[in-house]
Amino acid sequence: MTTSSPFVAELTARLLGRLTADFETGRDPDRAPAMEAYMRDQFPFLGLSAGARRSAARTALAGLPKPSEEELAEIVRGCWARDEREFQQFACDYLVTHVTVPGPGFLDVAEELITTKSWWDTVDPLATRFVGGLVRRHPDLVARMDAWSGSDNLWLIRTAILHQLHYGAETNTTRLFSYCTRNAAHRDFFVRKAIGWALRHHARTDPAAVRSYLTAHAAVLSPLSMREAAKHL
């Protein structure tokens, strides 16, 4: 990304200023502790429900222009720099809304977000709705997904496995299955769960292929992955 222009900084300052004010207005200190506990006390929360957060975001965004790629990067990085988790969750929604704005180089920004302040509540929308959309529009990026599927970072692996979740009939089944097989013995819960989720979702499109895959790989897939994948077969 290039150095920010004054115009980029202006939009970022306006949006984050509005967002901060609107989020602060909706702050619920009674609700926040339960939200923090649900996320294993990894992040502080303002205590905004998803509905309240999105309502505040709509107010903050009113009248603001569609961001450029440069503005998009600066805004989401600004949100990631904030302590309260609602800002990162807003950034994910903002990216999904503007998934058609960035070019393929923006995958570097997505990787930065996926591997920083990482947990399922941000990684999953980034994987399934943003990275998936970016790769669909820029097919050369599948090489990066291949690399991520073998990463040392479990969240990049999870993203690679899940990025085709909403592709339906356009899913590259060979690639999906290869990622699952490559990580079948992975020890982390979130990787094993992602395998089951991706296979279960693809079974809506091609149940026979998923059933055949599970039969052939039952000896290597974890019980969690098998159970999740076969839920509706």
* Domain presence at residue 116: no
For the domain that residue 204 is a member of, what is the CATH number? 1.25.10.90
Res 3: pLDDT: 46
* Domain presence at residue 207: yes
Residue 11 contacts residue 75 (beta carbons within 8 Å) = yes
Res 229: pLDDT: 98
* Domain presence at residue 108: no
State the Cα–Cα distance between residues 167 and 173, nearest whole angstrom: 10
Same-domain status, 96 and 141: no
* Domain presence at residue 66: yes
Same-domain status, 80 and 134: no
Give SS3 for 190: helix
Give the dihedral sign, CA 94/99/104/110: positive
Of 148, 147, 158, 150, the closest CA to residue 198 belongs to 158
Same-domain status, 26 and 72: yes
What the block records as the tokens of 131 is 């990275």
Domain range for 225: 121-233
* Domain presence at residue 111: no
Residue 15 contacts residue 64 (beta carbons within 8 Å) = yes
Res 8: pLDDT: 60
Res 5: pLDDT: 52
* Domain presence at residue 20: yes
Res 9: pLDDT: 81
Helices 107-114 and 85-97 meet at what angle, rounded to 10?
150
Same-domain status, 145 and 53: no
* Domain presence at residue 114: no
Instruction: Write the single-letter amino acid at 199.
Output: L
* Domain presence at residue 115: no
Res 108: pLDDT: 98
State the Cα–Cα distance between residues 193 and 52, nearest whole angstrom: 29
- The angle at the Cα of 99, spanning 210 to 121, to the nearest 5 degrees, equals 65
Residue 120: CB atoms within 10 A of its CB come to 14
Same-domain status, 133 and 214: yes
Give the number of domains in the chain: 2
Same-domain status, 125 and 233: yes
Q: Name 59's Cβ contacts closer than 8 Å, sequence gap at least 6.
A: 18, 22
Kindly give the confidence (pLDDT) of every residue in the chain, 233 residues in length, as a single tens digit, with 9 standing for 90 and above: 444 555 568 999 999 999 999 999 999 999 999 999 999 999 999 999 999 999 999 999 999 999 999 999 999 999 999 999 999 999 999 999 999 999 999 999 999 999 999 999 999 999 999 999 999 999 999 999 999 999 999 999 999 999 999 999 999 999 999 999 999 999 999 999 999 999 999 999 999 999 999 999 999 999 999 999 999 89
Of 174, 83, 170, 76, the closest CA to residue 126 belongs to 76
Of the three residues 67, 102, 137, the one that is the final residue of a domain is 102
Same-domain status, 73 and 128: no
State the Cα–Cα distance between residues 184 and 221, nearest whole angstrom: 5
